[in-house]
Amino acid sequence: MQTPTTEATPTNPTPTTENGSENGSYGELAPEVLNAVTQLRARSEALVAEVGRMEIHKAALTREAVEINQKAQSLLQQEAQRLGIPNGTSWRLTPEGTAMAVEDR
């Protein structure tokens, strides 16, 4: 975004106090600068809000992935029991669906 050029002039070019004029004002921003700042701040707030929504969605997806993995693990434990694989025995599942003992090395 290009910086707007202005024809603004100070409304009080000679402040009468250290902090500005008697009421502390230095003058008004040029309308195009005020508009640009307002638009930039609004866009920034929208981006922060979107990141927040994405974080909430990410947390929900992560929670779902954990639940799915827990269900898969539970099914594998049930099958190990059905197949007679002793608790604590290492085994693996082949792509074809065969439960195979894991060899100790």
What is the reported pTM?
0.59
Please write the tens of the pLDDT for every residue from 51-60. Answer: 999 999 999 9
How far is it, in rounded angstroms, from Cα 87 to Cα 78?
11
How far is it, in rounded angstroms, from Cα 27 to Cα 33?
13
Instruction: Output helix, strand, coil percentages for the chain, rounded to the nearest 5.
Output: 50, 10, 40
How far is it, in rounded angstroms, from Cα 61 to Cα 9?
54
Please write the tens of the pLDDT for every residue from 10-45. Answer: 555 555 555 556 788 999 999 999 999 999 999 999
Domain edges within the chain: 31-101
